[in-house]
Amino acid sequence: MLVNQDQPHHGVTCSACAQPLGSSYVRHVSTQRRYCEYDCYRRYQQTTMETLWPYRSSLEAITVFAAISSWSWMMQVSALSGALTEAFLRAREPSDHGRR
């Protein structure tokens, strides 16, 4: 929201660059953060999004998700193969029942 001709309280500064606010400034409606101009607001929002989502392209994001899902799948397959191998070896062990 653009605020015109509404002098903020003394000592209020821009949330992005810490410059004192003038009579016109931008205020984010949901967070109530104040910015000295639209460019500061835009830069701050872009920096915030890059912090939350550091991947610049869709290919990078897809690669990360594929690596995570592949790792998860391999862990499950490894656990399953270990359990199957153990069951097979136990079934093949000679038992003492009836053999003397």
Summarised one tens digit per residue, pLDDT across range 23-64 is 778 888 878 888 888 888 888 777 766 556 665 667 777 887
Going by the DSSP 8-state scheme, the letter that residue 32 receives in this structure is: -
**Residue 22 — left, alpha, or beta (φ > 0 → left; ψ -120 to 50 → alpha)?**
beta
For the chain, the domains span: 2-52, 55-100
Is residue 1 pLDDT above 80, yes or no?
no
Regarding pTM above 0.85, the answer is no
Q: Tokens in use for 88?
A: 């097979």
Q: Tokens in use for 9?
A: 């309280």
Higher pLDDT, 92 or 100: 92
Residue 19, C-beta contacts closer than 8 angstroms, at least 6 positions apart: 13, 36
SS3 69: helix
Look at the block and give the residue holding tokens 């897809």: 62
